[in-house]
Amino acid sequence: MKGTGEPPGRTFSALPDAVPRSALPGIVWPAVPDDAASRLLALLFQLEQSQWWPPGLIEARQFEQLQQLLAHAQRSVSFHAPRLAAAGFDPRLPLNRDLWSRIPIMTRTDVQLHREALRSSMIPPEHGAVGEASSSGSTGRPITVYATEYVSLLWQAFTLRDHFWHRRDLTAKLCAIRHQAGGGAMPPEGGRLPGWGYATDVAYRTGPCSVLNVKASIREQADWLARENPDYLITYPLSALELLRFCHSGGLRLPRLRELRTFSEAVPGDLRGFVRETWGVKVVDMYTAREVGYIALQCPERDHYHVQSENLYVEILNDAGKPCAAGKSGRVVVTTLHNFATPLIRYDIGDYAEVGEPCACGRGLPVLARILGRVRNMLTLPDGERYYADLNSGKIHHLAPVLQQQVAQVGLNEIELRLVVTRAPTRAEEQALVAHTRASLRHDFRIGLRYVGEIPRGPTGKFEEFISELDT
């Protein structure tokens, strides 16, 4: 069976009782999907096979696609043409790792400043209509790229892969607490959708979905969730942490909840255990970015992540620009395999991640042990060493009446702990908070406490639990 693309015992992981929508009147099973769903399901079928390919075969297919992408970019994208020529790229010759490593890395600033120069002058019409995809700008540098309908179709396919991997019941109720463009879905009612969203509903009939703007207060979010009583909840990791603290202190449980889904931020190290303790369910995370799509999905059998290699070529590079070995962390550099409208080639997305060992689940997709987050979320020691601090913030509800915290590095040896509390902490509780924070940061920082009514959120309603203000 070696090399066939599917190890013994592995089968197409269809969802239990899920039948695609049928386009033929009177025919519900076996379903005959319409053209849009047929294309989506055809992609999904291929993804179900390629996940089991050995790593060498996956990379070989990636480089075949990269050859096509680079040839297109060289002849039709003014930003890339001179960079590829200087690297020695010749579309008539096979692409190899050595040549690939000579291609310069793009920065977020490049994408900002050269939006039109990055747009292809010869977008294949067969790839569909061209639209725009914009990032949230969580780094303070929002960007917009052009993308084709085919890129959107791939986004839908990876959304379905995530549901298939985690065996979700598509007929169940989903609740989402997230940013809402235009400021809608505010409490107390929030918003209502007939299904889980276009990415899923184009092929399957799904259960109801209720949405709430993440700008709602934590009490409003908790009250709304108690009324909605969902089977699945999707929100940002740090918003979930706030909710958990509130629910834990008030004894609020969600009796029907089967899974907490998270996205858009690095998962705090203690979130998974806190969720099991408070709600009795697991956390399933995903790693995406609007400008590039799905980067990695959590393994169905482990807490680590599988790179979505059919969508992107992902490199984790150290400070010298060399690939990191398993157990080491570095910059996340991605190349979009299929966006012929705005090719992003060796694009430093601004995140750090840790490379993982091959997964025992049998998938040949590369493993990321952890998504560490943005550079601005790195702690700097007085000697210049930088690292990501695990704040163990899920434990602070045991120490003091804290609803929300933000740890800010305001000097090389100075930390400010900003707290939203339900009452004034005692002196002993304050000392416990300081000791816990100092131990989590693993350095003898000077730590000051500041009590605030609220911690300001970013433009999309999210907030950062650790920030460095050294460079601002």
pLDDT for residue 8 is more than 50: no
Mean pLDDT of 19-43: 92
What is the model's pLDDT at position 248? 84
99 vs 458 pLDDT, higher one = 99
User: Two tokens at 18?
Assistant: 């899920």
Strands 379-380 and 367-374: unpaired
- The model's pTM is 0.84
Among the listed residues 378, 325, 328, 327, the one whose alpha carbon sits nearest the alpha carbon of residue 350: 378
User: At 2, is the pLDDT very low, low, confident or very high (cuts 50, 70, 90)?
Assistant: very low
pLDDT at 136: 56
288 and 334: one domain? yes
pLDDT in tens, 361-389: 999 999 999 998 776 667 888 887 777 66
Beta bridge partners of 370: 354
Give the 3-state secondary structure of residue 283. Answer: strand
Do both 366 and 384 map to the same domain?
no
| Domain end marker among 334, 357, 374 | 374
Which ranges of 251-398 does DSSP label H, i.e. alpha helix? Answer: 271-279
Query: How far is 79 from 115, CA to CA, in rounded Å?
Result: 9
Average pLDDT over residues 442-449: 91
Most confident of 23-37, 79-93, 267-281: 79-93
Question: pLDDT confidence of 121, banded at 50, 70, 90?
Answer: very high
Query: Which residues partner with 394 through β-bridges?
Result: none
DSSP 3-state of 355: strand
Q: Is residue 85 part of a domain?
A: yes
Residue 43 sits in the same domain as residue 104: yes
In a domain, 203, yes or no: no
Domain ends where: 346, 374, 402?
374
Grouping H, G, I as helix, E, B as strand and the rest as coil, residue 344 is coil
Please give the pLDDT value at position 181.
76
List the CATH number of the domain containing 449. Answer: 3.30.300.30
**How large is the angle between the packed helices 80-87 and 55-76, nearest 10 degrees?**
120
Q: Among 7-16, 104-113, 391-400, which stretch is predicted with the lowest mean pLDDT?
A: 7-16
Is 281 in the same domain as 153? yes
Q: How far apart are CA 114 and CA 434, in angstroms?
A: 46
Identify whether 121 is part of a domain: yes
Instruction: For residues 349 and 406, state if they share a domain.
Output: no
Do 440 and 349 share a structural domain? no
User: Both tokens of residue 8?
Assistant: 């013994």
Check whether residue 96 and residue 163 sit in a common domain.
yes
Percent of the chain at pLDDT exceeding 90: 67
Residue 110 domain flag: yes
Tell me whether the omega of the peptide bond preceding residue 188 falls within 30 degrees of 0, making it cis: yes
Nearest Cα to Cα of residue 12 among 51, 45, 41, 54: 45
| DSSP code, position 284 | E
For residue 408, pLDDT beyond 60:
yes
Are 383 and 367 in a shared domain?
A: no
Last residue of a domain, one of 374, 392, 413: 374
Residues 6+ apart with CB under 8 A from 295: 287, 288, 289, 307, 308, 311, 312, 314, 332, 334, 349
C-alpha–C-alpha distance, residues 227 and 212, integer Å = 12
CATH code, domain carrying 38: 3.40.50.12780
C-beta separation of 180 from 213 below 8 A: yes
Residue 6: pLDDT band (50, 70, 90) is very low
Is pLDDT at 266 greater than 90 in this prediction?
Answer: no
**Model confidence over 333-356: pLDDT tens digits?**
999 999 999 999 999 998 999 999
Residue 235 domain-assigned (yes or no) = no
Asked if the model's pLDDT at residue 460 lies above 90, the reply is: no
Please, which residues bridge with residue 316 across strands? 332
Instruction: Say if residue 4's pLDDT is above 50.
Output: no
Burial of 186 (0-12, 13-18, 19+ CB in 10 A): middle
For residue 179, the tally of other CB atoms under 10 A from its CB is: 18
Same domain, 333 and 462: no
Tell me the range of 126-140, 162-176, 246-260 where mean pLDDT is highest: 162-176
Q: How many domains does the chain have?
A: 2
Residues 59 and 162 in one domain: yes
Which structural domain, as residue segments, surrounds residue 397? 379-468
Q: Would you say residue 210 lies in a domain?
A: no
State the average pLDDT over residues 36-53.
96
Rounded Cα distance between 159 and 157, Å, is: 5
Contact at 8 Å (CB) between 88 and 304? no
**Inside any domain, residue 417:** yes
Q: Which of 436, 343, 434, 367 is nearest to 395 (CA)?
A: 436
* Same domain, residue pair 126 and 44: yes
Residue 198 counted as domain residue: no
In terms of domains, do 281 and 361 share one?
yes
Q: Residue 223: phi, psi to the nearest 5?
A: -60, -40
429 backbone dihedrals φ, ψ, rounded to 5°: -65, -40
Rounded to the nearest integer, the mean pLDDT of the chain is 89
